[in-house]
Structure 1
Amino acid sequence: MDKRLVEPKSVSTTRLVKSEDLNHHGTLFAGRTAEWFVESGFIAAATIVNPKSIVCLQIHGLYFSQPAKPGEILSFVSKVVYAGKSSLVSYIHVIKEGQTEPFVSGFITFINVNEETKATPHNIEIVPISETDKELYEKAKSLKR
């Protein structure tokens, strides 16, 4: 089967930090952030392959440079930046409304599976165009899975 060539395309989801999302310090709970982070990466992967055939294998770092506070609006921007034989790696970064630099970033590896949940080839090849996408491609390629 021929490979399907795909350029990285950003997908954005937006979240409002509410009181039920907070930790004991009154800032966004890392567990809630991880949930939204994985969901965002999944949505990017689901734009390329059937969402019913994707499972999360690994979160490669979830780096926080500052806390998020109640009432802040967060944009989760994700895109698939690398494809292995059966894997897809999404890069996700999170930006607070009114800011330009991400305060959270990282990668997630998803696996394309069949009905028996066995890894199966997806025949996708990611073709990075921009310099940023080329850098993300190389970083994702070097991740330990």
Structure 2
Amino acid sequence: MTQLIFPSDTNHHDTMFGGKLMEYMDKAAAIAAMRHARMRVVTASTDSLDFLAPIRVGEVIEIEAFVTWTSRSSMEIYVSVTSENLYTGSRTVTVTAFFTFVGLDEHGKPAPVPGVQPESELERSLYISAPGRHQLRKKRKQDRILDR
């Protein structure tokens, strides 16, 4: 996904609203999840959302998302945002995050999703480390349920 950042996308510092960027990231992650599973999906969680550099008005952002790992019905999607100054050509990775989506059957219930075959070095690295992140998410969810 590619977007040009306009003044209406930015705050009083002329940098992009984080919430607006998260919306774009969620959409890109949803598309990646649906392409992978070929079914309806819903966002289950977002974590490790790291803002590394500001995105300024007039820059272009490119959002890339791919499925890193799957469990029975859930998919971990890595999303990376790169900003580009169109006048200088300077490119900067500005935000990264992990999203979890769940595949749904025709009744809206969790459904099995296909596995992942990592190809690039980055994909292999994220695939290998994904089970640890999955366990942390499960623990975090369980802790929140117990806190109620």
- Coarse TM-score class (shorter-chain normalised): 0.7 to 0.9
* Amino-acid identity (%): 30
* Residue in structure 2 matching 1:127, options 87, 109, 117: 117
**CA shift for structure 1 position 140:** 2.6
Q: 2:53, 2:93 within 8 Å by CA — same for their partners in 1?
A: no
The structure number with the bigger radius of gyration is: 2
What is the letter of the counterpart of residue 116 of structure 1?
A: H
Question: Pairwise CA RMSD of aligned residues?
Answer: 1.5
Structure 1 stretches lacking a partner, 5+ long: 1-12
**CA shift for structure 1 position 26:** 2.0
* Residue in structure 2 matching 1:107, options 92, 98, 101: 98
Structure 2 stretches lacking a partner, 5+ long: 139-148
* Residue in structure 2 matching 1:90, options 57, 77, 87: 77
**CA shift for structure 1 position 99:** 4.0
- Structure ranking higher on relative contact order (CA contacts 8 Å, 6+ apart): 1
Superposed CA offset, 1:29-53 (max 9, x none): 00001000111111111212235x1
**Higher relative helix content:** 2
Confirm whether residue 136 of structure 1 aligns to residue 126 of structure 2.
yes
* Residue in structure 2 matching 1:54, options 28, 38, 41: 41
Q: Which residue of 2 aligns with 1:72?
A: 59
Confirm whether residue 23 of structure 1 aligns to residue 4 of structure 2.
no
Does the residue aligned with 1:23 lie in a helix, a strand or coil?
coil
